[in-house]
Structure 1
Amino acid sequence: MALINNEERYIEAVKELYPEGSFFEKQFADKESDLSNLARAQAKNLYDFRIELNKLWKEARLETCTEDTIADYERVYSGKTNPHLSLEERKANLKLVSNQSLQIDWQLINNYINEEYKANILSVDEKIMPAFFGDSRCGQKRIYDYRAFSLLIISLTIEEINLIDKIENYINQFLLANKIIFFKIINNINKE
């Protein structure tokens, strides 16, 4: 169901979900009946949910994000925030960031965790998995687009297994939210 701009139309849509019959018709004819009140409450919840979902959808895209989330986009994409610039200037700056600057320097991360946690990244295997959420069409116009999730398998060795949480937290801060990360711990059993 697309976002209806009138809450009254949601009430009518909710009423259509109830079974047909004279009992329900009488209940809905009385504006103060329990079922009428329930339908109004359900319609209000649905309407409010759809408005919040629409806001969330806009915030999830750089092109339509607002002041609420632009600082997060800046932090992830460029590593610094520019609160002194206007929203449009901040978006324009982020669009100029090349894909190469978004590449993660795994060697630098490996050097740090090797020094701090006595761990070593053996390999990083990235697999792309497109995931579809509510892919709907009205005629030829797509209502919602797909979002791609990326599966990341990081194989590493670690001397002190109790430090794995700290390593995971450290690595997670460099990855975008669409990364699904699995850590594969490989330790040598035969130590001399």
Structure 2
Amino acid sequence: MALINTPIKPFKATAYKEGKFVDISDTDTKGKWSIFFFYPADFTFVCPTELEDLAGIYPTLKDLNVEVYSVSTDTHFSHKAWHDTSPAIGKINYYMVGDQSGTITNNFDVMRPGVGLADRATFLVDPEGIIQFMEITSEGVGRNASELLRKVKAAQYVASHPGEVCPAKWEEGEKTLAPSLDLVGKI
């Protein structure tokens, strides 16, 4: 899974967003940061807690020029039904992508073999369509939207400040590092 620093592959799909079905493709991601947030299935248990948590930071992500694409192998019709019936999922304003063909899930190499469901996985894609970050967790381990937001800010900082890197637990406004020969062995 050597996907870091590789371009995303072409795709087309239908998503549910803000009461409408919309067609999307890889070209919609160009020129802005994108989060692909894969989850196993609608109407499950950990997934709605994660998606609701992500919905809470979506306005902040939009302010950072980041679009969110939640993706499962369910249909866009199932996404609408879930959105209409679940109080947690009803809070979502980002794209809920139906990937019943598995194209997007396979493009990101997170399809569970023989199961037809996506792994619990997150990818951050830069405005040029290059994967900058990925995280995959086991079925029972939910993700944290606040930590994802921190990592997005770090990736954006590094992209706009060549020669600097963000150390562990870096938060916006904190000191960064400038790797050099003089720094070797001094951290």
TM-score (norm 2): 0.24
Q: TM-score, with normalisation over the residues of structure 1?
A: 0.23
Q: Which structure has the greater CA radius of gyration?
A: 1
The structure richer in helix per residue is: 1
